[in-house]
């Protein structure tokens, strides 16, 4: 039997933790690798520069949205292609275990499934979405 209150808090913990992870990955691309370095890396994979910028934006904005609890279902689903692309273009050829040299596909595939679970659970407790929706209705 599911306890609705514990489910709400479980969704909150999951939402904030994956939001922080996405935010950290976006920040890594901005502050450590730099946008130019990220563009160069994406280019070495045969991807257009636009994809690097879209990935940086999606990870950063998606991380903030998840932490805040703003459209967590849609944001979670929108971030899955980033994770699948990481498997296809980077980690898939490195084997299963993420501890393999270059990182295998274990972690991004697991993370994609976590995002599906988040999409099924929704925002959870302490979401700003109800407040935002109320403000939008007033204007």
Q: Which helix (H) or strand (E) holds 18?
A: helix 4-27
Provide the pLDDT for residue 1: 57
What is the pTM assigned to this prediction?
A: 0.93
Number of structural domains in the chain:
1
What is the spatial distance between Cα 44 and Cα 103, in angstroms, rounded to a whole number? 17
**Which regions of the chain are under pLDDT 50?**
none
Provide the pLDDT for residue 73: 98
């Amino acid at each position: 039997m599911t306890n609705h209150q514990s489910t709400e808090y479980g969704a909150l913990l999951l939402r904030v933790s994956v939001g922080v992870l996405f935010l950290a990955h976006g920040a890594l691309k901005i502050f450590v690798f730099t946008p130019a370095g990220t563009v160069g890396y994406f280019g070495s994979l045969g991807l257009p520069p636009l994809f690097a910028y879209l990935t940086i934006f999606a990870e950063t904005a998606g991380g903030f949205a998840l932490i805040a609890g703003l459209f967590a279902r849609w944001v979670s689903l929108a971030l899955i292609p980033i994770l699948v692309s990481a498997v296809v273009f980077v980690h898939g050829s490195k084997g299963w275990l993420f501890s393999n040299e270059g990182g295998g596909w274990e972690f991004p595939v697991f993370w994609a499934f976590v995002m599906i679970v988040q999409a099924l659970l929704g925002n959870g407790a302490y979401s700003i979405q109800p407040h935002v929706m109320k403000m939008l209705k007033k204007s």
